[in-house]
Amino acid sequence: MEIKALRLEFESEIKNKINQKTKPIGSLGLLENTALQLALIQSNKANTLISHISINKPTALVFAGDHGISEEGVSIAPSCVTRQMVQNFMAGGAAINCFCQANNIEFNVIDAGIIEPITEASSELPSNLINMRLGAGTKNFVHESAMTMEQVELGLSYGEQVVTPIIKNGSNLIILGEMGIGNTSSATAITACLTHTEVDLCVGVGTGITAEQLFKKQTLIDKALARFDSDNPLTVLKEVGGFEIVEITGAILAAAQAGVCVLVDGFIVSAAALVACKINSNVRDYLIFAHESHEFGHQLLLRHLKAKPLLNLGLRLGEGTGAAVALPLLTAAAAFYNNMASFEDAGVTV
């Protein structure tokens, strides 16, 4: 994919517009950084300096997949919960559904490879369920590659196929989330490998495992990383990735190629963002990080990507919930950029 770095020719004018608002310089903190990034992204896409930031049809995409490593008991829940939660998403009963409804976010769930597919015997599948299955869950990456390279390449393509029509339909903000029992193990392995960090500094409790399970999780991920010696991002996906992580990576790459902003959720989506940035470093320009979780790996990963997340609420649910909750902050950043008076307009002398 050809992904262009953001041209900075508009940056000084955007900063000047922000600084001339009726406020002390920098007093709106990260909202100013957010407005600058959104204005830069949209000015680059329009190929001219924009005077108005728009947030059109924000769309949440939650990718679901099962993980072979879950059979090792590294999570509080069995793999069947992944499918049950997908059904909950479709019924509108999950936290992400509530937050999407509260913030007027369109919602879709993608079956990237749960063990048992969703089928409806007597009626059509819900329109917000997208089938992009790469298989019935990954292999147990402690003992063998999580997937084949063909599945990696197909998964990247599937992610692109999901996001491209949504952008063509007018969305200029993609919100990414995930569901997959065992996927913090995959995110931890990816982070440790691509940041060259010891596993014990990346591993965390995920959804709430015991100290004994945490030690086991660390030991198993160490064993998995000892199987191969590569920090090539595609190889890392093949060896320790998840089907949902691969497709999220493809969605991020496609959004960046289209010049569209991506609002990144927590640890697992951030791990996919890390992979996308390793594939093409220009991707980083299009990413806004919603929140910082309590996962050590997520905190390390954010530092590695030089990201300043908008929120720190102790969130660790996934599903895209942190990103959905952060959307009003982007709306606020756009509102002050678009509507706040300048010192000159307001007749305020400083």
**CB 105, CB 60: distance < 8 Å:** yes
Residues 6+ apart with CB under 8 A from 280: 1, 3, 253, 256
> 198, 239, 319, 344: which one is catalytic?
319
266 Cα distance to chain centroid: 7
Nearest-Å Rg of the Cα atoms of the chain is: 20
Q: In which element (H, E) is residue 308 found?
A: none
The single-letter code of the amino acid at 47 is N
At residue 251, the 3 state secondary structure works out as: helix
At residue 241, what is the residue type? G
Structure tokens at 15: 């900063």
181 within 8 A of 79, measured Cβ to Cβ: yes
Q: Which of 261, 107, 243, 274 is nearest to 180 (CA)?
A: 243
319 tagged catalytic? yes
Inter-residue contact 180 to 67 (CB < 8 Å): yes
Task: Report the side by side order of strands in the sheet with 173-179.
Answer: 129-131, 106-113, 59-65, 173-179, 261-264, 287-289
Alpha carbon distance 268, 61 (integer Å): 14
DSSP 8-state symbol, 48: S
CA pair distance 235, 347, nearest whole angstrom: 59
The phi and psi torsions of 47 (rounded to 5 degrees) equal: 60, 25
Given a contact cutoff of 8 angstroms between Cβ atoms, the answer to whether 277 and 231 are in contact is no
Coil, strand or helix: which one is 290? coil
> 290 with 326: CB under 8 angstroms?
yes
Q: Mind telling me the catalytic residues?
A: 319
